[in-house]
Amino acid sequence: MKRKLINALLNWKANKRNKPLILFGARQVGKTYLIREFAKNNYDYLYEINFELDVNARDLFNGALTIDSLLIQLTSYNTKVPIIEGKTLLFFDEVQVCPNVLTALKSFAIDGRFDVITSGSMLEIAIGNVSSYPVGYVETLKMSPMNFEEFLWALGYGSDLIDQYETYYKEEKMLPEAIHEKLNELFLQYVVVGGMPEVVNIFVKTLDIRLVVEAQKRILNDYYYDLANYASKDIKEKVRECYDSIPNQLAKDNKKYQYKLVKNCGNVRYYNSSIKWIIDSGLAHQIYRLKTFDKPLRAYRDLKSFKLYFNDTGLLLAMYEGNVQYEVLKGNCGIFKGGIFENVIAQILLENNIPLYYYRRDEKLEIDFVTLLNNEIVPIEIKAGHNTKSISFKNIIEKNNINYGIKLSMNNVNCTNPKIKCYPLYMSIFIKDIYH
């Protein structure tokens, strides 16, 4: 399946500065598939080692990590794949179980002859265990689940057609109603299916939501496996408690993450390192509360108040009991579903490199997201259904001298009010910052 990140890999190869590449990302987001496809189309040979599957290969990096020693070890370990400058891609996968590989990247960088990519599902955790991380000698990329545009590609919608949809966003014009309703339907499918490539592939081939949910639960089990194997003993149970609590946190009206809902008498001191582990592992996104509407936004974060969103909304739905998928596909979007739609929009905007915060003054006034677009502060309100009335949103814009806000809902484009621009939820993929 086509992924946007392929362009970044092509740029890395074309503008090579003798630096190996580290590809970050949670398990099952498609890292291995992407690199193999990249190698197939751009190299004569792929030299691949998966250190989870090939335990013996870990010994290759236990001795001297000079380039001469590494080449002798690698070429003798696998005599079937030649290592040739410019023709072979060296791909070291699941390096979290062999962190010495990361240290060895400095040798490859200094030598400069070979293209090297490393990947793994717990790399940000593993980096903490590296004796000598090659700062300045590597480039990094982060891979996320498929976004809605990639989901449309998988369904057969071409880039040219999606570009046409984007012109309606840029020109602030309504789409033809039939197209709008179809895109709403497809977006609801994306909310349920999510962006894990295996799950998307199952959906595209079968349209069977039962099989979709089964695959999502398998991925969740893989995440629990990672938790059990890579979280340290002192936080292992606490990490699972915090992770399992996210769906309940998002189901309540005030979606601020509350430790007391994880466990009675829970507090920041007890759970702080567990939350950090979840974020570093790529399993969730952390969005901080904004104290005031002023630039730079980051300087006005309230580090004690935050929300956690799942890295994939389809996995979030798979955590809930009952047939939540059916309700979403039917468009039954109540208060409970509000957290689901916040999750998917957070997922999409963060993938677009849009920094996100939220604002909450009291129980009556909360703005789902606040960001900086083209150097302007822009509040963003998420409405799960067709009812978009929000007096507080309008007041926030007026009282804080904000040029405009964005409201996302199931409704068609409506920008007749220049202070509040209303777009369909699916158009969130077109919200971008010219400075990124």
The reported pLDDT for the residue numbered 176 is 97
CA angle 11, 12, 17 (to 5 degrees): 125
Domain end marker among 109, 142, 175: 142
The reported pLDDT for the residue numbered 128 is 64
Asked whether residue 121 carries a pLDDT value surpassing 90, the answer given is no
- Indicate the number of domains in the chain: 2
Domain end marker among 142, 175, 210: 142
For 7-52, the pLDDT digits (tens) are: 999 999 998 677 999 999 998 999 999 999 999 999 999 999 999 9
For 338-360, the pLDDT digits (tens) are: 799 999 999 999 999 999 999 98
| 289 in the same domain as 155 | yes
Residue 435 lies in a domain: no
CA angle 89, 352, 199 (to 5 degrees): 65
Q: Which has the closest alpha carbon to 74: 94, 85, 59?
A: 59
Residue 339 lies in a domain: yes
Asked whether residue 335 carries a pLDDT value surpassing 60, the answer given is no
Q: Which helix (H) or strand (E) holds 361?
A: strand 357-362
| 154 in the same domain as 120 | no
| 419 in the same domain as 397 | yes
Domain end marker among 114, 142, 170: 142
| 152 in the same domain as 138 | no
Q: Cα(393)–Cα(52) distance, rounded to whole angstroms?
A: 50
Q: Cα(220)–Cα(238) distance, rounded to whole angstroms?
A: 17
Reported as a pLDDT band with limits 50, 70 and 90, residue 139 is very high
**Which CATH number characterizes residue 26's domain?**
3.40.50.300
Domain extent, residue 278, equals: 148-430
**Torsion angle in degrees (nearest 10) through CA of 237, 242, 243, 246:** 160
For 219-228, the pLDDT digits (tens) are: 999 999 888 8
Reported as a pLDDT band with limits 50, 70 and 90, residue 129 is low
Question: Where would I find the beta strands (DSSP E) of 56-176?
Answer: 88-93, 115-119, 139-142
For 86-115, the pLDDT digits (tens) are: 999 999 999 988 989 999 999 999 999 999
Q: Which has the closest alpha carbon to 250: 302, 314, 318, 316?
A: 316
The reported pLDDT for the residue numbered 325 is 93
DSSP state of 211: H
Asked whether residue 334 carries a pLDDT value surpassing 70, the answer given is no
Q: Which helix (H) or strand (E) holds 136?
A: none
Per-residue pLDDT, averaged over 398-409, amounts to: 92
Residue 135 lies in a domain: yes
Q: Are 265 and 241 in contact (CB under 8 A)?
A: no
Per-residue pLDDT, averaged over 312-333, amounts to: 90
For 263-309, the pLDDT digits (tens) are: 887 888 889 899 999 998 899 999 999 999 999 999 999 999 999 99
The reported pLDDT for the residue numbered 134 is 76
